[in-house]
Amino acid sequence: MHRIIRNTLATVAITGALTAAVAPTAMAVERTSPTSTASQKLAANPSRIKTDDFNKARDILIQAGSKTAQKTHPAHGVKDVPADHGTSLLAEARDEFRAADRNLPAKDKKSDMSIAHYNAVHKAANTMGIDRW
């Protein structure tokens, strides 16, 4: 009788340990699996961005007042650019806008920048198809 209880407890302990070790991996697979729901799925940035989309995003940020976007040269002579160029453009504008808007009241800000700047950065990101920067 004691042997059955001991073996059952050992099996439960091993099963619990394996479940704990496998759970994070299973969750990561679930979030990136093509069959997972949109709310769980982590969107991947494209590897390349069309030149026209990069230039449109750059123009959006310039119109919003980004000096760093203004200093960035427009893409030309190629059909696409690496996504890193787009993510850098967005991150620099975001940081610039946050620094410029740091003294605004909290009610007038979203993600530590003015709502207009926030909208411009996200519109530029959507134009390039970038979800994370």
* Residue-wise pLDDT tens digits, 104-122: 999 999 999 999 999 999 9
pLDDT tens by residue, 72-99: 999 999 999 999 999 999 999 999 999 9
Q: What's the predicted TM-score (pTM) here?
A: 0.68
- Residues 123, 60 within the same domain: yes
For residue 77, count CB atoms less than 10 angstroms from its CB and return exposed for 0-12, middle for 13-18, buried for 19 or more: exposed
Is residue 133 included in any domain, yes or no? no
- Segment 10-29 shows an average pLDDT of 52
Phi/psi for 3 (5° steps) reads -65, -40
Number of domains, the chain: 2
Looking at the structure, tell me whether residues 91 and 119 fall in a common domain.
Answer: yes
Range of the domain at 115: 48-128
Query: Of 26-30, 33-37, 120-124, which one has max mean pLDDT?
Result: 120-124
CA-based nearest residue to 51, from 74, 77, 80: 80
- Is 85 within the bounds of a domain? yes
30 and 91 fall within a common domain: no
